[in-house]
C-alpha cells in the first residue's frame, strides 16, 4: 500500500462509524430469508459501523430509484444494492443505477468480475456489478447470490469502507 493510501485510510478510520444502507433486489426474498442482509448487517456492525437503512424491493425501475433516494435521505454514506445485475430482461438494477451514478468507479466492476471468474469461470462476464458516486454517497451494486455478496464484501468493500466514505465526502 502506498504511503498516501495508508495515510488516507488512517484519516478515514478516525472519522468514526460509517453509515451503510442495504437494498436487496429480489422478487422472492423476505426479511426472514434475506441471507445477504443477515450476512452483511453483523459484518458491518462488527466493524463498528451502522446500518441506517434496509429495504427489500422488486426489480422494478421505479422501486430501484425510490430505494436509492430513500437511502440518501436516511443519511447513508455507502449504499449496497444486491441483485438485479444480470442480463435477463427482468434485471434492471444496473440500468437504473448507471443512469443515476455521477462518477462511475469502473474498477469495482472490473475487480469483481476478475474475482468472480476465479470462482465461476466465464459466467462472470454476465455480471453487471457496478459502483460509483451519487449525491455525495458511494453506491455499490453486486449480484444477489450470497457468494457474490460475500466476495464483494470481503475482497473489495470491507477493506476500503472507511476510505470510500471519506473520499466521497471530502
Instruction: For residue 90, tell me if it sits in a domain.
Output: yes
Question: Which residue range(s) make up the domain with 157?
Answer: 17-25+35-49+69-169
Q: Are 164 and 78 in contact (CB under 8 A)?
A: yes
| Each residue's pLDDT tens digit, 106-149 | 999 999 999 999 999 999 999 999 999 999 999 999 999 999 99
Q: Supply the CATH number for residue 163's domain.
A: 3.40.980.10
Report the number of distinct structural domains present in the chain.
1
Instruction: For residue 41, tell me if it sits in a domain.
Output: yes
For residue 7, the model assigns a pLDDT of 66
Instruction: For residue 61, tell me if it sits in a domain.
Output: no
Instruction: For residue 117, tell me if it sits in a domain.
Output: yes
| Each residue's pLDDT tens digit, 91-107 | 999 999 999 999 999 99
Strand-pairing partners, residue 141, are 81, 130
Q: Which residues contact residue 149 at a Cβ distance below 8 angstroms, ignoring those fewer than 6 apart?
A: 36, 39, 40, 82, 142, 143
| Cell 454514506 sits on residue | 77
Nearest to 133 by CA among 77, 70, 69: 77
Amino acid at each position: 500500500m502506498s504511503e498516501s493510501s495508508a495515510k488516507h485510510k488512517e484519516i478515514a478510520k478516525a472519522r468514526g462509524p460509517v453509515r451503510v444502507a442495504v437494498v436487496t433486489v429480489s422478487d422472492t426474498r423476505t426479511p426472514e430469508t434475506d441471507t445477504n442482509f443477515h450476512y452483511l448487517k453483523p459484518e458491518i456492525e462488527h466493524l463498528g459501523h451502522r446500518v441506517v437503512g434496509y429495504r427489500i424491493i422488486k426489480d422494478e425501475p421505479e422501486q430501484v430509484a425510490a430505494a436509492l433516494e430513500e437511502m440518501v435521505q436516511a443519511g447513508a454514506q455507502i449504499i449496497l444494492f444486491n441483485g438485479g445485475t444480470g442480463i435477463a430482461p427482468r434485471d434492471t438494477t444496473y440500468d437504473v443505477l448507471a443512469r443515476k451514478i455521477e462518477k462511475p468507479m469502473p474498477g469495482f466492476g472490473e475487480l469483481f468480475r476478475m474475482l468472480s471468474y476465479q470462482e465461476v469461470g466465464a459466467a462472470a462476464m454476465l455480471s453487471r456489478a457496478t459502483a460509483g458516486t451519487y449525491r455525495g454517497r458511494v453506491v455499490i451494486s453486486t449480484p444477489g447470490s450470497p457468494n457474490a455478496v460475500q466476495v464483494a464484501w470481503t475482497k473489495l468493500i470491507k477493506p476500503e469502507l472507511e476510505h470510500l466514505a471519506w473520499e466521497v465526502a471530502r
